[in-house]
Structure formats: structure tokens, C-alpha cells
Structure 1
Amino acid sequence: MTKSIPQNARVVIIGGGIAGCSVAYHLAKLGWQDIVLLERKQLTCGTTWHAAGLIAQLRASKNMTRLAKYSQELYGELEAETEIATGFRRNGSITVALTEERRSEILRSAAMARAFGVEVEEISTSELLDRYPYVNAQDVTAAVYLPKDGQGDPGNIALALAKGARQRGAQVFEGVKVTGIAKKNGAVSGVSWQRDSSDEQGHIAADYVVNCAGMWAHQLGKVAGVNVPLHACEHFYMVTDNIAGLPQLPTLRVPDECAYYKEDAGKILLGAFEPTAKPWGMQGILDDFCFDQLPEDIEHFEPILEQAVNRFPELAVTGIHTFFNGPESFTPDDAYHLGEAPELKNFFVCAGFNSIGIQSAGGAGMALAHWMEHGYPPFDVSDVDIRRMQPFMGNKTFLYQRSKETLGLLYADHFPFRQKATARGVRRSPLHEHLKQAGAAFGEVAGWERANWFAEQGQDPTYDYSWKRQNWFENSKREHLAIRNNVGLYDMSSFGKIRVEGPDAEDLLNHMCGGNMSVPVGKIVYTQFLNERGGIEADLTVTRLSETAYLLVTPAATVIRELSWLNKHKAGANVVITDITAGEATLMVMGPNSRELLSKVSNHDWSNENHSFGTMQEIELGMGLARAYRVSYVGELGWELYVSTDMAAHAYETLVEAGADIDLKLCGLHAMDSLRIEKGFRHFGHDITEEDHVVEAGLGFAVSTKKPSFIGRDAVLRRKEEGLSSRMLQFKLKDSEPLLHHNEPVLRDGEIVGYLTSGNYGHTLGGAIGLGYVPCKGETIKDMLASSYQIDVEGTLCDAKVSFQPMYDPKGLRMRGLKEAGKRRTEDNTSHGITDTLKEKSPSSGQLRGL
């Protein structure tokens, strides 16, 4: 008898792969009732059934590693709970390098693993052969071994999760396709469904809907009016015949040959992440796709196989049992999608796992269930938060082009500053062609093409990637020093610009911001959106434009996040919230001679007395108009010039022409980052996240607790009363040669106590600079400074100087245009960023918004 489908549910989960089963399991484990999971065909029939089943622990960030480790621990317990054999075993994994650059990468990864609490060993060639005697190790430059990595049976793990959910009351229906998504008052209200191969259909009213539709998640998202950017690609592996005497082996990864080797029941599975992938399903995926595989393409796989025969010589005398080609979905940035969709309240997404769905799904399901239960994730998951996706990224042509690259990037060299090569040029500043003609080397963030550095005459403006000093290092140094010593110009038109206007604008922003928004027209306030836990949801400046209008300026990549947060909390406020990012260009004129340059192009009074730090004024610029903001993300005297896009080219040309006789330097984003880290300015998404308490981040000065009520106020007061559990410090390597990027372990008196949240080279300070949190419960600053500190760079411990204040211009005199030590104008309304945050400070340290 066919089981009847309920008409009401608390939550409907769409998709019965491992992701959907995990979400159902974890919601049921939290005690949710009326859980309904709908699978269009059969459980696991999309991608899960043919996954390789590798279950690694280490990912690219601390919290992604936490989720992967959770998955592994969960899968190790499922069999006892559900009596379904999951095939899980910890057989370990080995990654080998064949080049010096890859050697640097895997040794840095090993150091990162130590910082994240993942057991790891750097092993010699002889130790490699002891653990994996079948490998040709003649050209191996380094190897690392993770003993607790594992593997399992993907299909049975998913079925075990489904059974665990059923045991707690969840209902699972196969052969039921969702045909529509219902909405009411901006929130999801239910789904329409139809039985497979049947006319039976119906509707389920639901408080929540979760899109776990895998390859179909993009299409389902469009039905709901939600952007879920992903595209299926063909994914290949082969399985050998039995190899006599083959023992259980660790998983072997050889990323330089785009290959991995998994021992399974006396056979070897050889999988590939080829550099140029084959997108699939451009016209949509057929409704009857179920446990299907795609046509073989030996020619496409052959280059991988040829190298594999050399790497694993036994393959030359072993037959092929299975050649498999099946589709998997990939996202534009190789990170999966998790969280509440910004377009539709209570519509959540858990999809797009980029061929790491088995190792990710357990943790992803746990995090999403926590999010749905509490209204926020268990810790910062911004790496995979779907709000990072831009609307244009759902474009099919964009996804088709980008997916050719993203599959291969999983095993490509993960060089610092590596830029995507495909699907470029979508969003361009109105100054793009001017910058291109000037020799700009462009990088891409949120689709925006941005000048990262400028080539000299005759130099090719392209990247030559390395873990050492890259080909643009000296270019960026010259740009860095130009801003420190003279004057530089860079384009930040990609800054997010959000206008909040209406009778309730001041009250709304005072509720949402830590800083005080009751300021005069023209005042710029550096502030944060805080959550109820005191974590940082956004890092921005807010400028009062009129009695009823404010401009919010945010990092380029977080505009969707900020808009979502504003709309979520505006309630019945009488305001209009508008994204005006594309309407204005932003030119930065920075450096001790910025006042001289600006005086050449405008009759505005640029003096401290007339235009003090932290204020905005409307000006004439050349023959046009602009707004000049006295702020700085580089720690020098300077202004941000906001110009309507129609006047942007004129403003740029006017500045460049006027700057010719004072050696104005065009500068890029790499220089801006090296400048800001010398000043200890925080980078949102690295140094500060929703998990980092604003006081421990050293930004307590930007919070006005004198306001009677704002989101996070109680958490700020509580932390100040209880004392800090950690502090953000600035580090400088005493050896000027090594480079820092992020995630390098921090050692205090020989013990790992944390890791760097960001790093770059300080050309003024003469060494690599990093920021990172260090535990300090019950300690004074003096206690912490009494310790010795080291940073682990590729397994080498490098001595580091540490500071609570910015090592460059700690009093911020240069940025405020002051020369005499100790002199301070009250209207400057500023303080340095790294300080004793238990003390109240005046609310602005300059422009600290992220890149």
C-alpha cells in the first residue's frame, strides 16, 4: 500500500542524497517533529551512489576542518546506532609532492593541520615506501601522512543517516518529485509534489524547506526564486581487477598528476581531477535520471592513466574492471552552499559539494540543523555561506565556463593570490580600460575585475605563481612605498554601497550598528553589525548624507550578506534599502602628499581645520562633482572620492594629469593589503567573522555601549565584565626572508596556541606581518608580552616580534595629518586599532573595511 504524504510539516527536505539524509538525521536528533524528506526517485540515486567515499579531515580553514572531522566521527558511530554497515575505516591518507612548489604547499598544509588539531606526519621517502610499497617514489619531493583519514561506503552511509532519522520520527518518501515552491509574505510556505509515474499530486504546508537536490539544486532554486549557482561536470574514475596480495592501503593523493588511488577490497580505484573538465547537463537534467552513468571517454582520461601507470607500476599488468563516468556538481568557487537563502525566508540550501560531499555532508547537516534550530550556525561558516554568491553567478553561461576550471582546481597548486582563469570580465569598474592601458594585472572578487598590481614598462601584467616571492613582489613594494612616502591612487569602485533612507533610518541603524548613528550630516562612523553573541556580522562605514539618509560602504564580496542582514532586521521600519554599488566609482588618493595633489584638482579646503578625519564633504573635482571622504585603510593621510559613474573617467584623468609632476603612482589591491596589515587593520572574513567577539578583535572602541539598545549590546558588556579569553595580536617575523599568508601556526613558548588569520609582507617594516588571536584568559598584557613567539612556516619555526599596538604609526598621527607626538584633535574621533580593548575608545580607527 502506498504511504500517504502528510499535508503539513514543520520542514520539507528536498533530495535524498547524503546531504538530505544528513539534514533529516540532525534535525530529528535535535528533537524536531514533522520532518518530511522527499526524493524524486530513490535515495542516493543522483551522485551519492557513485562517490568514491574518501573521508578526509583537513580542509582549507579551521571551521571547514571542524565540519569534516565531525563527519568522520559521526560515520564511525552510525553502524552501531543503525545496524547498517557503513564500510567506514580509518586507513589514513598520504599526499605526495613532485615539485618544489608543491612541496611548499603540502608542508604548509601539514603546519596548518597541526594548528587545527589534525594529526599529521611529514614522512621521508623510505617511510612512504613502507606505508605504500606500490608507489614509484623516485621523483617525490615531500610526503605527508594523515593517519586518521578514512573511507567508507557512500550509499550505505546515506541509508544509515536516513534510518537514524526515521528512528526518531522523520518520514522519508521516495518517488515523489517537488513541482513547486509556495511563498507567503516573503517566506517559504510549502511545496507542491507529484508521485513518480503517477497523476497523484498534492501540497505540503511547511514552515521550512531545505534544498538538498544536488545537481538539480540550481533548477529547484529558480523555481523558488533563489540563486543556487552550480553546474554538473563529468567525473571519471576506473577500478582495476583484483591485484593479488594487495593489502589495505592508505589513500594516496598525487595532486601534481591530478590523481588519487583508493584501495578497496583488493582492487585499486584511480580517480582524477583533470585540469579542464567536461561540463554536463547544459540543457537540464532529465527527469528519469536515476543510478545512471555517462558515456565513457577513454581519450579524456588517458593522460591521467598514462601518468598513473608510471606512478603505480602494477597498473601496467592489471586489467580494468570498471571505467566509470558520472556527474557531480561544482560551484563557482569550489565551496559548497549552506544556509538560509537571502531571497526567501526559511528556505535553506545544502548542496553543491564539489566532489567532497561524503566527507562534508555529516558536518554540513549538523551545522544546518543548528542554524535552523537557533537562527545561526554553530560557528563561522562564511566559507560556504550561500550569501557569498552574487546574483549573476546563476547565469548558465557563466556556470558552464567556470565549471570547466573548478573541478581541476581541487588538485591544482593552491598558490597564494591565485586567480580564476575562466568566466572573467563580468563586472568592470568604469575605469577598467584606463587601468588596463596603464598596465594593470587584474584579479577578481565577487565578479569584479580589480587592479591587483601594475606592470612596469615592457613587463607582462600576468601572474607567475609561487609560494615564494612572486613576479609582482617588487611592483607591489614600489606601490606600497609610494603611498607611505608620497602619493598613490587606486580604484575601489567595487566597494559595496548601500543607501538606507527614510524617516526611521537613524533608529534602524542605531539598532543594528554597534556605533552611534545619531551624528551630524557628513559624519563617517566606522562600525560593525553585531549578532547577539557579540560576533561581527559586517564591518563597514556609515556616513550620514542627510537627516533621513545614510550610505553604508562594505567589502565587495559581502554586499548580499549585508542586504540580507538589513532586510532581516528592519521589521516594520519605514526605510528604503537600495544597493547603489554600480552607480558610483570610488577613487582612493592616499599618502602624505595627497593633500597637495587634491589641491591641484579642486578648490576645496583640504586642511585638517576644514576637513577633519572621519568626515565627508561634497566637492568640485576638475569639471565634475564628487564626495570626499576623509578615511584611510592604509594608515596614511588620504581621501576616498565617490564619483557618479558617468564622471569617473574624467575624475581619473584629471587626477593622473595633475599627479604627473609629483610622481603620482597607480597602486593595486596587493599594496593596499600590505599597507593595512602594517597598521593592524582587520580584514573581514579572515581577521573578523561572526564567530569573533568584537571586543577580543580589538574593536571595542567602535562600539557605543552608551546607547540603550542595539543588537549585541549585552554580549559586549558581559565580555568586558568577564574579561577576554583571547586577544588579537600583530606579529612580525624577525627573519626578513619568509612569507606569511594565513593559517600559519602561532607558538607561544614552544606550544601551538593559535594560527594567523591573515598575513602579508610589510615593506615599510621590513618583514612578513601577521594577525592572529592568542588565548589570554586571566592574563594581563604584561604576562603575554613576557612570552616568546614563533610562527611555523613550512615546518620551520621562525621567531616573531609581537605587539598589541600597530607596529607602524601606533598613534595614528600620519593618518590624521598630525605631526607632533601626543597632539590630538577631538574632532578627529579616532584611535588605533590594536589596543587595550577593555577601555572605551572614541569610535573610529579609520577605514578598516575588508578588501
Structure 2
Amino acid sequence: MTLPTHARTVVIGGGIIGCSIAYHLAREGRQDIVVLERSKLTSGTSWHAAGLVRRLRPSATLTKLINYSIDLYGALEGETGQATGWVQTGSLTLATNPDRLTNIKRQVSLGRAFGLEAEVVDAGQARELWPLIETDDVIGAVWSPADGRVNPSDVALALSKGAKARGVRFFEDTLVTGLRKTGGRISGVEVGSHLIEAEEVVIACGLWSREVAAMAGAHMPLFACEHFYILTKPLAEVQALGKGTHLPTLNDQDAFLYTRDDVEGLLVGSFEPHAKGLPLDRLPADFSFDLLDEDWDHFMPMMENALHRIPALERAEVRMLLNGPESFTLDSQFMMGESPEVPGLFLLGGMNSTGIALAGGAGRAMAEWIITGEPTMELAEADIRRFGPEMNVLAALEARIPEVLGRHYDNPYPGRAMETARGQRRSPIHAGLVAAGARFEARGGWERAVHFGGAAAHLPLTFGVPKWREQVGHEVEACRSGAAILDQSAFGKIWVHGPDACAFLNRLCTAQMDISVGRIAYTQILNARGGIESDLTVQRHGPETYLMIVGAGEVVRDLKRMRETKGGSRVEFADVTSGYAILGLAGARAHEVLQACSNTRVPQLKRFHFAPVEIGLACGWVGRLSFTGEDGYELYIPSDMAAAAHEALVAAGASHAGLYASGSLRIESGFRAFGHELSPGTTPFEAGLEAFCAWGTGFVGEDALCHLSGESGLETAFQEPSKALDQGVSKRLGAGRRIVSLLFDDPDAIPIHDEPVWFDGRVVGQITSAAWSYRFGHSVALAIVDAALDRLASEPVVDGLEVEIACTRFTARASLKPAKEAFA
């Protein structure tokens, strides 16, 4: 078959992910699809993956994607005649300490939000389920009967066979050597001297994805690590199970191990704490169905753990120590979506050893994204737009990615932070925060101060009462009755200027942008379906000049949305995030302190107004608003003068507060946050933000909201995986859910996020944000629920709700009003 000169869509990569994307594109009716594979189908990582498929995952997105994958893998053999090797074996996850048991119980509770049942069992029951294990140190376990395994190569071949039956053309031994752009948009793929013109190009080539994306000037921050597992020869204990009988997948995360039976023997793999990074220049150019060298010295500590857990391994003959490369991302979540830099170029990679389980769902989600131009389900945690170009720095990837693999099995404690690749982006007042005793976490590459008690008030981490509770309480009080500095310099800043600036922003944003100079508008950016893409404030600095202040992780996605919305508007915009610091100043004494360090009169501003200000030796402007919900200001200062302003504020009596304090106050005040309460699948009606919509201005998403405002409920093709094949990409956005404030009755209840909310005997929603309330001495939370809406609309407080935390239910009261108003 001869390479074509044109294709509607070119998919680069013939592993399980590329085959899945092609299959789903074709199944949705897309024609003229070409898949290019540098070697043979399933080469690279797919062929040596362990093939484990666990339904129960720590997030809603991952769980939905995997549920769909399992349904698909079960159906593919009947459709294509190609076996996938799907076997439902169940899985068993062990706990050898109380925190691990709490964590796996939390996953059981989360699973119930999606109708997944798992059972907490004791050590004796665990041994009945997995007779080969030693359980002397096991204090509990979770049995998940619906999990299983597949043969990765067979799944990829089944997907490719289904794609070929729908007209997709596959070309093996075809190395992509370049990508072509026209007018900044992807326009073709080069294979040596041959050019395939294309309307869309998809990169899904595993280890090589970062380098292929760079051919088009796109950023795809991935890095590879060596990944190890052993295969044994047949063991009598496994053979005794009988032909066709399988052990469940065993997860011993405290020992960094996973295990399953394999050809009458065992496969034992690890996510070892001290992982080995793999620069791609160490691989030969023709690396395909190849493996890396065995490294028994590196694997031996994991082998010792395995020998303790499975004594029968002492008698096993090791067939091989398999060492195969896999690629990972900076935050351990995979990445997918349209490149922010290159329209028409779609990227999917960094599956972090979950690629086989995710392939079906992720391939479908990517196909729908390509076809509709928008994600069709909640994908914020995987969205490529969470990474800016600065996060593609090779030194950062080389330092961080081995830690990502090594901490794969860490308990996800509140306050957990990565230790490598730190200090990449620092606030202009970073040194001053260090001097004040700040404890930092790396978020989106930025060093963010979370509290000011240092390590002594932070460690050890726990799922219970954190060490920082007392320290944060002091910071909360300063935000109320004192004057507390909150460093918000990581917020994005985007200047917008031009004759059409006002009209452009009215099209982009929900709120009215034709406001007076010196005013600040709180607003959202929506997608065409009415879902919230960003949450921001906009300042008007002149007739043709505005400044957008956006969330720290929203700059890339907002700039992409702005480029797509611009059309022929006479407007320019620029990211100036690094050019300005933002210092919040919250509390009853904020004006007093601000005046004390200024030789000019600080105006008594109305809320959501701003004016010029001098702070010590610095100058900038001050806005009357605060994300804490307390009285206060935001100071906007050129970066080179920020340290001087900070020093003046401290000298005038200001103290400091971190993200934990502002988070507690935010939740008490009912303020929504993007990535928590707000997402592309949440409408302003559901979020209670319809008052910030300037109806009639023609903002993006207005037509969808007007059409859907009378409907209720939110449907996605992934909520009922068994029906997903029939639902296509249709989606309904309405107001059948609402964000509510919760106050827990029991002070021992410590929610984190995502916990299921129960009402009238069923799961009706999930926690989106939670914190300790120093006002009430109990935990408070924001949650999105789809029940008791009539009562919530008519009653100030509704009781009868329960929140399940690690398999224990705690009662809570709910209100549509902010907690500090509703429960006072």
C-alpha cells in the first residue's frame, strides 16, 4: 500500500493508544484516517505492559475512563474476532499500616460514587483470596471483584482490526521525520521526502512523543523511566489452581509491588522508590520490540519485599527480569488535548503505567475532542493545557520524573509535595517569605507558601488532624482581624489592548465588560456548551485597555481560548504573569497598614474598584477585593519593586498567611475555584453564578445556556459506560445539580476531596473542596449534589446529608448560602 499524499487525520503511533484513537474516530464516522507506525503495531511500550485493569481509581475521570475501557474490551472480540485476553480476576490491595488502610478505604468510598462495589476484608480473608501470600503484617485489605487483565498486544490488534474494517489505513515501518505547519496550524506529516497533507495530526507515540511534538514547535513534557518486573517459570502452587483459574491481581503498595499469575508462574513488578530515569539518547534508533539491560542490583530490594510477601518465590526459577521503558508526566497524570501552540495538533501520552487500562476510554475521549473541538467529559486533570512551555524544560523533567515513578504508591496525604525540580518559578517576594518561615509546595512549577510554620508544623503527614492546624488558625485570625499578606503572584496576568478590546471581552467573558475605568469585573469564560473554562477578574485600565487576572493554572488554556475567539477583532493580548507580583492584604487592619507604608493618601475604595497606590519605595495599584471573603485588598506591583513593597508592609505591621488559611476562608465564604467546583462540565446555573452572566451580550456559551436553562441534569457518555456505545458525543448541560456549602456535625470528620455525599439512601454528589473551619470548630466543604434541590431552594439549611470518608459516614447540614452565613 502506497503512502497517500493527503489524509483528513494522521495518527502517529501504532501502540494501543494510537489504535484506540483511530478506532474511535472511525466508529464515530470519521473518514480518511491514516496511522503511521515507526516499527510494527504494538511495539514500544504496549507489547511489554503487564495488562492490569483496575476499575477503582483515585479520581472520577480515571474511573470513568477505565470503566468504559473494560466494557469495550469485553465487546471487541465479538466485533472483530480478535481475542483481547480479557479475564475478570478481581484484585486484592493489602494494607500493612493504618494510613494505607485509610487510603484504600477512601478509594472504596469513592468507587461507590460510580456504583463500584469493593469489600474491605481482614488478613484471613485476604489469604483465602490469595493463598500464596504471607499475612503476618497485613492489617486489612480491599477486594475489588470487577477488576481484571488483558493481553495488551491483542487489545491493540483488535482495535486496529476494528479500525481497518471502517477504512482506516495503517502503515508500519514508517518513520515520521518532520511535521509541517501552514499559518501556524498543523498541515502535514513528513516521511522522509514524502509529505502527507493533513487537517489534523495526532501524536500518540509513547516514549518518542515529546520529540515528535517538538518537530512542530509544540510542548509535550514527558520523560522516560526504566520499569521492572520479573517473570518466573511455572510454580507448583500456581499450577495447583487448575487450568483456566487465575489469582486476583495483588497490590502490596507498602512494599511497592504488584503481582499476578502468568503462564502458571508469577509476574512481580514494582514502582521502586529510587527509580531510574532514561534519556532517550540511550536508546538505539531502531529500538522497537526491545528491552533494556537487566539490573538485579537495582531490583534486589524489591525482590526481598516480594520474597517476604510470597514465600513460594524462594523456590521459583526466574525466567527473566524484564526492564522496559515507560514515559511519565511531571504530576503523574497523563496528558491529552489539542496543543496550545499548534492548532490541529492533538497530543496524548504519559499514561504512567495505566495506559492499557485507560486506552479504550482515553482513545474515545480524544476522538470526541477531535471531532467536536471540545472535551466531551471532565478531563481537566489530564488536559494538556495545565502545562506551560516552562514545564517542558529537560532538566526539570530529568529531575522530577524518576521521583514521580518512585512515589507512585505513596499515600496521597494532604500536604504531600514533590521534592525534586523545586524552585523553578519563584515569586518576586520569595526570599521574604523564606525569612518569614514559609513552608512551600510546588504547584504548576511555582513555589507556593502553604503556611508559615516550617517543617515543624508540617511533618509527619497524616489523614487525621494535620500538624499545621494550630499554625493555620493563627493565620486565619490574622486574615480576619489583622493584616495578613497572601502572596498571589502565581496568578496569571494577561493585558488586553485595542479598539475592539471591550467587544472582544464581551464575547469571551460572561460579565459585562463595558464598565468604567477603575472598575473590576468578576466573570467566567465558557465553552460553546455553557461549561466553565476559566474563573477570573478583569480590570479596566483605559478605554481600550484591560488586565485579566486568572488562576495560576489557567493561563495557557485562557490564551488558547482567546486566540480561538479573536477572529478579526482589532485586539492584542500578552501574558505578563512574570512582570507583576500580586500581594493580597486581608483583614480588618488592612487599610491601616497600607496607609502606614504610603506617603500618599490611600483611597477608601468601593468593592471591585482599583486605584494607583504607593507602598514604601514601590508603586503600583490596589484593588478592593479578597479571595478570602474577608475585608481586604489586592496589590499589583511591578516585579522589580515587589520586594520593596513587601518589606514596607512587614515594617508597618503586616503578618503572613498561606494557601491553607486562604483555602479555609474561601470555603467558608462559598467562593468557587476552578478545578474544584468549576470545570468545563459545570454550568453557571449549577455553580450559582448565573448572576454574573450579562445576558444579551452574545458571550460564548450564552445560546447554550438559554437553550438549556429549563432542562435539568448533566449527562455525559461516560456516566453509564454500558450505554456509552449508544450515546455518541451528545451532552446535556442544565441546572439539575447545585453547589452547596456543608458543615459537618462531628468534629472528627476530616474530608479532603471527592468523598461521596449520600441523601435518602443513595449517592447524590461529591465533595469538591474541604477544609477545617476555625469559625465553627468543624470541617466545612463545598459539594455538588443532584438531590434535595427543592428543599435547598426553599430552606436556609437542609439536614439529612451524609458524607462517606474511608467507609465511615458522617452527617452534615447543607445550604445554598455560604457556610459563614448559613450556619452562623
Partner of 1:61: 59
Deviation at 1:411, TM superposition (A): 1.1
Q: 2:678 pairs with 685, 688, 697, which one?
A: 688
- Name the stretch that deviates more: 614-623 or 771-780: 771-780
The 5 A counterparts of 1:200-215 are 201-215=193-207
Residue of structure 1 equivalent to 2:648: 654
**1:204, distance to aligned residue in structure 2 (A):** 0.5
Aligned to 1:442: 440
How do 1:162-177 residues align onto structure 2 when only pairs under 5 Å count? 162-177=160-175
Task: Tell me whether 1:507 sits opposite 2:494 in the alignment.
Answer: no
User: After superposition, what is the alpha-carbon deviation per residue over 1:513-543, rounded to whole angstroms, capped at 9, x for unaligned?
Assistant: 0000000001100000011221100000011
Of the candidates 357, 370, 373, which is equivalent to residue 372 of structure 1? 370
Alpha carbons of 1:221 and 1:612: their partners in 2 closer, same or farther (altered >3 Å)? same
Are positions 1:220 and 2:212 aligned together?
yes
User: How is 1:599-614 mapped onto 2 (pairs within 5 angstroms)?
Assistant: 599-603=595-599, 605-606=601-602, 610-614=604-608
Q: Is the 8 A contact 1:70 1:362 kept in 2?
A: yes
Tell me, in whole angstroms, the C-alpha distance in 2 between the residues paired with 1:592 and 1:241.
72
For each residue in 1:36-93, what CA deviation from the matched residue of structure 2 results, as whole angstroms up to 9, or x when unmatched?
Answer: 0000111111000000000111222212211111111111111111111211111111
Contact 1:725–1:777 (Cα < 8 Å) also in 2 = no
Query: 3-state DSSP class of the match of 1:427?
Result: coil
* Residue of 623, 632, 640 corresponding to 1:638: 632
SS in 1 for 2:585: strand
Which of 792, 796, 800 is residue 788 of structure 1 equivalent to?
800
In structure 2, the partner of 1:587 is 583
Partner of 2:287: helix, strand, or coil? coil
Partner secondary structure for residue 494 of structure 2: strand
**Within-5 A mapping of 1:312-351:** 312-351=310-349
**What displacement does 1:718 show?**
3.3
1:445-489 CA distance string (max 9 Å, x none): 111111111127xx6475421111222221111111221222211
Q: 2:703 aligns with which of 679, 702, 714?
A: 714
User: Is 1:697 paired with 2:687?
Assistant: yes
**2:197 is matched by which residue type in structure 1?**
A
Selected match of 1:550 from 546, 553, 578: 546
Judge conservation of contact 1:750–1:790 (CA < 8 Å) in 2.
no
Whether the 8 Å CA contact 2:586–2:632 is kept in 1: the answer is: yes
2:630 is paired with a residue whose SS is coil
Moved more, 55-64 or 342-351: 55-64
Distance 2:283 2:512 in 1: 52
Q: Deviations over 1:116-153 (max 9, x none)?
A: 22221111222212211111112112211111111010
Q: Which amino acid in the other structure matches residue 440 of structure 1?
A: A
Q: Is the 8 A contact 2:10 2:202 kept in 1?
A: yes
Does the 8 A contact of 2:458 with 2:466 survive in 1?
Answer: no
Amino acid in the other structure paired with 1:762:
S
Please tell me the residue identity of whatever aligns with 1:792.
E
Deviation at 1:715, TM superposition (A): 2.5
* Correspondent of 1:538 among 512, 529, 534: 534
Match of 1:757 in 2: 768
1:569: which partner in 2? 565
Determine which of 482, 488, 492 is the counterpart of 2:484.
488
Which residue in the other structure is 1:743 paired with?
Answer: 754
How far does the alpha carbon of each residue in 1:195-235 deviate from its partner, in whole angstroms, 9 at most, with x for none? xxxxxx41111000000111000000111100001111100
1:669 aligns with 2:659: yes
TM-score, normalization by structure 2: 0.94
* Separation in structure 2 between the aligned mates of residue 530 and residue 788 of structure 1, nearest angstrom: 34
Instruction: Report SS of the residue matched to 1:71.
Output: helix
Aligned to 2:723: none
| Bigger shift: residues 307-316 or 237-246 | 237-246
Take 2:788 and 2:769, find their aligned partners in 1: how far apart are those partners?
23
What CA distance in whole angstroms lies between the structure 2 residues aligned with 1:759 and 1:811? 16
Q: TM-score under structure 1 normalisation?
A: 0.91
- Paired position in structure 2 for 1:819: none
Secondary structure, in 3 states, of the residue corresponding to 1:256?
Answer: helix
Deviations 1:175-201 (A, max 9, x none): 00111111112210011103xxxxxx4
Q: Residues 253, 811 of structure 1: CA spacing in aligned structure 2 closer, same or farther, 3 A cutoff? A: closer
Deviation at 1:762, TM superposition (A): 1.0
Moved more, 13-22 or 471-480: 471-480
Tell whether 2:247 aligns with 1:236.
no
Structure 2 residue identity aligned to 1:229 = P
Contact 1:226 1:344 in 2 (8 A): yes
Mapping of 1:378-397 within 5 angstroms?
Answer: 378-397=376-395
The residue that corresponds to 2:149 in the other structure is 151
Mapped to 1, the partners of 2:357 and 2:226 lie a distance apart of 20
Structure-1 separation of matches of 2:452 and 2:575: 30
Which string of whole-angstrom CA distances, capped at 9 and with x for unpartnered residues, describes residues 215-269 of structure 1?
0000001111000011111000001111124231110101110000111231110
Q: Distance in 2 between matches of 1:270 and 1:529?
A: 48
2:342 partner amino acid: L
> In the alignment, what sits opposite 2:737?
726
Q: Matched residues in 2 for 1:588 and 1:402: separation?
A: 31
- Rounded to whole Å, the distance in 2 between the matches of 1:60 and 1:568 is 33
- Of 612-621 and 244-253, more deviation after overlay is shown by 244-253
Correspondent of 1:407 among 405, 408, 432:
405
| Secondary structure of 2:236 counterpart | coil
Q: Structure 1 residue 605: deviation in Å?
A: 4.9
1:651 is displaced (CA, Å) by: 0.3
- Residues 762/786 of structure 1: CA separation in 2 closer, same or farther (3 Å cut): closer
State the distance in 1 between where 2:439 and 2:145 align.
Answer: 42
Deviation at 1:604, TM superposition (A): 5.3
1:772 has 2:761 as partner: no
Q: Give the aligned partner of residue 468 of structure 1.
A: 464
Query: Residue 837 of structure 1 corresponds to which residue in structure 2?
Result: none
Cα offset, 1:631, TM superposition: 0.8
Q: Give the aligned residue type for 1:743.
A: D
Q: 1:143 to 1:639 in 2, by over 3 A?
A: same
Contact 1:727 1:775 in 2 (8 A): yes
From the superposition, tell whether residues 81 and 720 of structure 1 become closer, same or farther in structure 2 (CA, over 3 Å): closer
Q: SS of the residue aligned with 1:529? A: strand
Q: Which moved more, 1:803-812 or 1:264-273?
A: 803-812
Instruction: Give 1:780 deviation, angstroms.
Output: 4.8
Deviation at 1:378, TM superposition (A): 1.6
* Counterpart check, 1:71 vs 2:73: no
What is the aligned length? 795
Q: Give 1:635's aligned amino acid.
A: G
Q: 2:298 aligns with which of 297, 300, 303?
A: 300
Distance 2:700 2:788 in 1: 25
Secondary structure of residue in 1 paired with 2:685: coil
Match for residue 817 of structure 1? none
Q: In 1, Cα distance between the equivalents of 2:800 and 2:458? A: 40
Aligned to 1:800: 812
SS in 1 for 2:592: helix
CA distance in 2, matches of 1:348, 1:777: 41
Measured after TM superposition, the shift of residue 796 of structure 1 is 1.1
Letter in 2 for 1:568: E
How far the C-alpha of 1:362 sits from its partner, in A, is 0.8
Q: Deviations over 1:407-440 (max 9, x none)?
A: 1222112212211111111101111111111111
| Secondary structure in 1 matching 2:489 | coil
Kept after mapping to 2: 8 A contact 1:296/1:324: yes
Q: Deviation of residue 640 (structure 1)?
A: 0.4
Q: Tell me the SS of whatever aligns to 2:61.
A: helix
Deviations 1:565-615 (A, max 9, x none): 1111111111111000000111111011112111212255556xx410011
Alpha-carbon distance in structure 2 between the residues aligned to 1:469 and 1:778: 32
Change (3 A) 1:221 1:463: farther
Q: Which amino acid aligns with 1:679?
A: S
